[in-house]
Structure 1
Amino acid sequence: MLKKTIAIIILIIGLLLVFSPFIKDGIVKYMSGHETIENYSQKDIEKNSEKDATFDYDSVALPSMTSVLQGAANYDKEAVVGAISIPSVDIQLLVFKGTNTANLLAGATTMLPDQTMGEGNYPLAGHHMKQESLLFGPLMNVKKGAKVYLTDQQNVYEYEIDQTKTINETDVSVLNPTDDATITLITCDKPTETTKRFVATGKLVKTEKMTDDLEKKYFSQ
């Protein structure tokens, strides 16, 4: 009886090890895709934008099964300050105020406490996972000239990518203020341990008032 119990336990552990990557990716896919900006009003966004946020860069690591399970329970819906859409590479995510482990598993995250859409430098971070269709993985395929759309539910800010590059993780110059309205998108250059970051930057080319048509066009799953 004991041997049979041990065998069953070993079998269960083996199955969990085999299927845990699929389970983990499934949780992240759900976390990052089950809600859209349509669930948040302009008043919600304004309220969330006024709240303090956590910028804990040192705690950020490759997503593990444990961190994904914790993130599923802990990501802060009251940190949602907008949404990002890059149609050319099929990215559509909520934007969270604050870079931390939980928020990064649910969408893109702001990297500075006082950044404002449509003004100066607006840097966003996102995970690059092994299933590269998730989170910021598709960013690796973005090309010069691609359009990026941000919204705070008041306006839609259209940026155009003008540069992509790979930098060292210690190079924080990409977070520096800019005179022009700029978007800076940052992810790891590969979905494993790495000291490099892929960066795509773009300039603001248009600002429009948010409408139902624009919301459906760019920010509805």
Structure 2
Amino acid sequence: MKKITTILIEIILGIVLILGIGYAAYQYNWFGIHGQVVKEIQSHKTTVDTTPIKKNSDRQAIMRRLMRDTQPGLQKQGFVSVPQVGILEPIFDDAYSKKGLNAGANYANRTQNDPQGTQAPVMGQGNYGLASHNFDDGLTGFSGLQQHYQDDAPYLVAGKRHENKWLNNKPIYLANASGIYEYRIARQKVVTADNVSVLNTTNRAQVTIITCLFPSTQFRIITTGYLTKTYTWGKAPSRVVHYFDLTKQPTNAHADWFNPGIEEGSNGDAGGTKVK
């Protein structure tokens, strides 16, 4: 009996040791394990659904769930989706406050010419600035926009900054009550945290997404996309509308422990359709 007990203890300790090593390997990205796991999760996070949405009432229901108020004191502007890396976040109106960034993505509009941000950006027009946290996990906030987990490269190598093309031509979708705006990514680069010129007004409609670089957080990753198509909710391709169906798509504002409230997507209250 004593021998059996000893064997069981050894087995349990062996399992604990294996689990501990596995956790450390993931947490500290040994052999790139964390990055590989994240890439696999990202690739399956967004459901690609081409089922036709024939009823306009169904499309309007998706829009209403998207635009419902969820954060007291913040005005919701819409949602942002980057399907390639599993991003789906609400957009609010204050990227310059802790409250705003704690709630999700926010528009960013303080420029050299408008340091107070008096002019609210408009989706589908000019330079639409957008900011959200990089939670350094590849899955929440805008962390999916950094190519490699806990690695400055290829944005910053030997102290020199470089453009990155890994997401070029991938779509960014912005959505509000009026419609859906499709942008295509043209480039990524890094700038210092105090660089506001990236938000300067432009004649060409574009989106400028700002998030931190890790581990060199004094730099910001700038993802630039140019407007290619504008859809009304009634005319948008069903595939595109499905990206914003909160009853089927998970959101990633990191509400599980960092942000107030709960996720608005299928991993939370599903656009208000799930009863607490």
Q: 1:188 to 1:214 in 2, by over 3 A?
A: same
1:106 matches 2:103: yes
Which structure 2 segments of 5+ residues have no match? Answer: 1-61, 110-118, 148-165, 250-276
Provide structure 1 residue ranges, at least 5 long, that are not aligned to the other structure: 1-35, 46-73
Q: Which residue of 2 aligns with 1:39?
A: 65
Structure 1 residues 193 and 101, CA, compared in 2 at 3 Å: closer, same or farther?
A: farther
Decide whether aligned partners of structure 1 residues 209 and 217 sit closer, same or farther in structure 2, where only a CA change above 3 A counts. same
Match of 2:208 in 1: 184
1:90 aligns with 2:86: yes
Residues 75 and 103 of structure 1 are in contact (CA less than 8 Å); yes or no, is this contact kept in structure 2? no
Aligned residue type for 2:192: N
- In structure 1, the residue matched to 2:186 is 162
**Partner in structure 2 of residue 173 of structure 1:** 197
Report the CA distance between 1:215 and its aligned residue: 6.5
Higher share of residues assigned helix = 1
The RMSD of aligned alpha carbons is 2.4
Would the aligned equivalents of 2:233 and 2:241 in 1 still touch at CA under 8 Å?
no
- CA deviation after TM superposition for structure 1 residue 106, in Å: 2.3
For residues 39-88 of structure 1, give each alpha carbon's deviation from its aligned partner in whole angstroms, at most 9, with x where no partner exists: 255xx68xxxxxxxxxxxxxxxxxxxxxxxxxxxx943751110000000
1:113-167 CA-to-partner distances (Å, cap 9, x unmatched) read: 4100000000000101133211110011361111000011211100000010011
Amino acid at match of 2:213: D
Residue type of the alignment partner of 2:137: Q
Q: 2-side partners of 1:217 and 1:94: how far apart? A: 16
Amino acid at match of 1:196: F
Alpha-carbon spacing, 1:84–1:185, altered in 2? closer, same or farther (3 Å): same
User: What secondary structure, in the 3-state scheme, does the structure 2 residue paired with 1:102 have?
Assistant: helix
Structure 1 counterpart of 2:141: 135
Q: TM-score, normalised by structure 1?
A: 0.63
Q: Is 176-185 or 211-220 further displaced after alignment?
A: 211-220
* 1-structure distance, mates of 2:98, 2:184: 28
Q: Which has the larger radius of gyration?
A: 2
User: Is the 1:119–1:181 Cα contact (8 Å) retained in structure 2?
Assistant: yes
Q: Which runs of 4+ in 1 moved over 6 A?
A: none
Residue in 2 aligned with 1:146? 170
Given that 1:37 and 1:94 are in contact with CA atoms closer than 8 Å, whether structure 2 keeps it comes out as: no
Change (3 A) 1:173 1:78: closer
Alpha-carbon displacement from aligned partner over 1:76-113 (angstroms, at most 9, x marks no partner):
37511100000001000111011121221222101124
Q: Per the alignment, in what secondary structure is the counterpart of residue 198 of structure 1? A: strand
Report SS of the residue matched to 1:80. Answer: coil
Q: Distance in 2 between matches of 1:126 and 1:195?
A: 15
Mapped contact 2:66–2:79 kept (Cα < 8 A): no
Contact 1:83 1:93 in 2 (8 A): yes
Cross-structure match for 2:56: none
Q: Aligned residues: percent identity?
A: 31
Tell me the secondary structure at the aligned position of residue 173 of structure 2: strand
Decide whether aligned partners of structure 1 residues 37 and 131 sit closer, same or farther in structure 2, where only a CA change above 3 A counts: farther
Conserved 8 A contact 2:74-2:94: no
After TM superposition, the score normalised by the length of structure 2 is 0.51
